[in-house]
């Protein structure tokens, strides 16, 4: 699957949406955006942000966005808390945000209980969203006969017809454009 | 300052910060699916791709998995339960933002289809990424094409106010969907009555 939005939605919907989901982020600059993205995709009536497993457990009525300052410590805590999280039944999952290849992600590989609890509900949506720029540029040139920059130059000068196909192509070219 | 310069200033602001409201589009798509104007899967198909090196993100509606291969690259979403004067309408939704969805470089919200008479029509709101045409009146940064298609002359480019993406989508949809009114007059009256108190 290469649809980052669907990867988040599927992870949240799994098991009726009452489990725990891990969402990886590539760097802190994108984390806040990704948190809002998860909130928006989940469409929960209530959502709370916290850095504490205790507070996450105390809000089974809400989508919990767990944003730990110490990711390793929170992973280790959660690893021993599965039974506690089974009752009361949650309405929405806890979404734990972990830095890709960070300390928390490494700790998760050493936490068998938590890993089995998550059971694959651990998308890395930003990785799925990434395009292979060089491959896409080659495909664009093969299809259109010019580079994204050359095509955009004509497009911006109103030298190309405007229809659904060219409008769509203009976004594809702009995504790949070198500036 | 004249009206066109003021409008251009607001369009520039929309480009500088409008990306932060891209996620609001989901609220409109949710309503669209709930009212059975579009397939339920549309919600998860409004998705994005990013160019990491350029810190650029492109938003689009992805084709459903069972769509024909030739349709996938230029997918536009068919709408249902249309106004009786419209027999066919397809929605294209495209945006280009920075990686964190703050700057909105480009936006296209486009409907194309057929009237009940069989004639074609197109409504397309465009936020341009650069100055086009001769100036901010004839080719405002954020404008809407209305006509049988996008190329018939004279090209009508109606300047749009600096609506954020979700509101612009709401307006475009109001052209073809019956009873689609996010702000009915009763709500408007109640809102201003509350303000007077």
Q: Would you call B139 an interface residue with chain A, using a CB distance cutoff of 8 Å?
A: no
**Collapsed DSSP state (helix, strand, coil) of residue A120:** coil
- First vs last C-alpha separation in chain B: 35
- Determine, for residues A4 and B47 on separate chains, whether the beta-carbon distance falls below 8 Å: yes
Q: Which two tokens stand for residue A118?
A: 């998550």
Could you give the 3-state DSSP secondary structure of residue A3? coil
| Burial call A11-37: b when 16+ CB within 10 Å, e when fewer | bbebeebebbbbbbbbeeebbebbbbb
Q: How far is B194 from chain A (nearest CA, A)?
A: 26
What is the Cα–Cα distance from B147 to B162, expressed in whole angstroms? Answer: 22
Three-state SS string across chain B, please?
CCHHHHHHHHHHHHHHHHHHHHHHHHHHHHHHHHCCCCCCCHHHHEEEEEECCCCEEEEEECCCCCCCHHHHCCCCEECCCCCCCEEEEEEEEEEEEECCCCCEEEEEEEEEEEECCCCEEEEEEEECCCCCCCCCCCCCCEEEEEECCCCCCCCCEEECCCCCHHHHHHHHHHCCCCCCCCCCHHHHHHHHHHHHC
Strand partners, B89: B113
Helix, strand or coil for residue A70?
Answer: coil
Question: Is the Cβ of B130 closer than 8 Å to some Cβ of chain A?
Answer: yes
- Is B46 within 8 Å of chain A by CB? yes
Whether A6 contacts chain B with CB within 8 A: yes
> What confidence score (pLDDT) does residue A17 get?
63
pLDDT by 10s per residue, chain B, length 197: 699 999 999 999 999 999 999 999 999 999 999 999 999 999 999 999 999 999 999 999 999 988 888 888 889 999 999 999 999 999 999 999 998 889 999 999 999 999 999 999 999 999 998 898 999 999 999 999 999 999 899 989 999 999 999 999 999 999 999 999 999 999 999 999 998 87
Do residues A7 and A37 make contact, with C-beta atoms less than 8 angstroms apart? Answer: no
Give the C-alpha distances (Å, rounded to integers) separating A157 from A151, A160, B132, B133.
10, 8, 7, 8
Q: Which residues pair with B109 in a beta bridge?
A: B93, B125
**Which pLDDT tens digit goes with each residue over A99-120?**
999 999 999 999 988 988 888 8
The overall average pLDDT reported for chain B is: 94
State pLDDT tens for residues A58-105: 999 999 999 999 999 999 999 988 888 878 888 899 999 999 999 999
Note whether A129 and B57 are within 8 A (CB): yes
Residue B43 near chain A (CB below 8 Å): yes
Note whether B123 contacts A: Cβ–Cβ < 8 A: no
* A49, pLDDT greater than 90: yes
Q: Which residues of B touch A135 (CB under 8 A)?
A: none
How many CB atoms within 10 Å of residue A164? Answer: 19
Give the helix, strand, coil percentages of chain A, each rounded to 5: 55, 10, 30
Contact between A167 and B150 using a beta-carbon 8 Å cutoff: yes
Q: Are A104 and A31 in contact (CB under 8 A)?
A: no
CB neighbourhood size of A61 (10 A): 14
B43 chain-A contacts, CB cut-off 8 A: 9
**β-strand partners of A47:** A63
Note the pLDDT of residue A120: 82
% chain A with pLDDT above 90: 79
Query: What is the Cα–Cα distance from B108 to A119, expressed in whole angstroms?
Result: 39
- How many A×B Cβ pairs under 8 Å? 102
In chain B, whose CA is at the least distance from the CA of A132?
B51
How would you class A87 by CB atoms within 10 Å of its CB: exposed for 0-12, middle for 13-18, buried for 19 or more?
A: exposed
pLDDT at A15 over 70: no
Residue A98 in tokens: 């972990």
* CA atoms of A50 and A73, how far apart (whole Å): 14
pLDDT average, residue stretch A142-154 = 97
**B48 — contact with chain A (CB < 8 Å)?**
yes
- Judging contacts by C-beta atoms under 8 Å, the chain A residues touching residue B130 are 156
Q: How far is it, in rounded angstroms, from Cα B59 to Cα A172?
A: 10
Q: Tens digits of per-residue pLDDT, B122-173?
A: 999 999 988 989 999 999 999 999 999 998 999 899 999 999 999 999 999 9
* Residue A41 sits at the chain B interface (C-beta within 8 Å): yes
B92: exposed, middle or buried (Cβ count in 10 Å: 0-12, 13-18, 19+): buried
Distances (CA, A) of A63 to A90, A92, A105, B32, B95: 9, 5, 21, 24, 28
For A26-37, the pLDDT digits (tens) are 999 999 999 999
ipTM of the complex, rounded to two decimals:
0.93
Say whether A171 and B149 touch across the interface (CB within 8 A). no
Alpha-carbon distance A122 to nearest alpha carbon in chain B (angstroms): 17
- Indicate yes or no: CB of A30 within 8 angstroms of CB of B100: yes
Kindly report the average pLDDT of chain A as a whole number: 93
């Amino acid at each position: 699957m290469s649809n980052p939005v669907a990867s988040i939605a599927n992870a949240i919907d799994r098991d009726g949406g009452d489990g725990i989901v891990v969402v990886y982020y590539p760097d802190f600059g994108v984390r806040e955006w990704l948190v809002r993205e998860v909130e928006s995709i989940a469409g929960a009536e209530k959502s709370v942000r916290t850095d504490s497993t205790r507070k996450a457990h105390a809000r089974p009525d809400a989508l919990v966005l767990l944003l730990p300052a110490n990711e390793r410590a929170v992973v280790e805590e959660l690893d021993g808390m599965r039974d506690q999280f089974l009752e009361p039944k949650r309405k929405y999952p806890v979404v734990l945000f972990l830095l890709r290849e960070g300390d928390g992600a490494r700790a998760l590989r050493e936490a068998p209980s938590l890993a089995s609890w998550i059971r694959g509900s651990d998308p890395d949506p930003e990785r799925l969203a990434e395009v292979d720029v060089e491959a896409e540029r080659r495909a664009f040139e093969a299809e259109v006969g010019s580079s994204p920059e050359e095509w955009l130059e004509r497009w911006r000068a109103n030298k190309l017809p405007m229809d659904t196909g060219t409008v769509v192509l203009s976004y594809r070219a702009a995504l790949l454009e070198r500036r | 300052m004249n009206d066109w310069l003021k409008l251009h200033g607001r369009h520039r602001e929309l480009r500088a910060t409008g990306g932060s409201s891209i996620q609001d589009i989901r609220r409109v798509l949710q309503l669209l699916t709930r009212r059975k104007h579009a397939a339920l899967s549309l919600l998860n198909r409004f998705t994005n791709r990013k160019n990491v090196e350029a810190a650029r993100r492109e938003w689009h509606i992805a084709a459903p998995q069972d769509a024909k291969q030739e349709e996938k690259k230029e997918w536009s979403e068919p709408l249902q339960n249309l106004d009786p004067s419209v027999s066919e309408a397809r929605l294209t939704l495209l945006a280009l933002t920075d990686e964190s969805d703050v700057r909105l470089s480009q936006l296209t919200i486009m409907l194309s289809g057929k009237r009940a008479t069989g004639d074609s029509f197109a409504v397309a709101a465009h936020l341009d990424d650069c100055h086009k045409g001769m100036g901010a009146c004839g080719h405002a940064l954020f404008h809407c094409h209305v006509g049988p298609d996008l190329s018939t002359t004279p090209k009508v480019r109606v300047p749009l106010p600096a609506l954020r993406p979700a509101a612009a989508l709401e307006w475009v949809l109001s052209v073809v969907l019956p009873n689609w009114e996010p702000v009915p007059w009763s709500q408007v009256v109640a809102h201003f009555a509350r303000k007077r108190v």
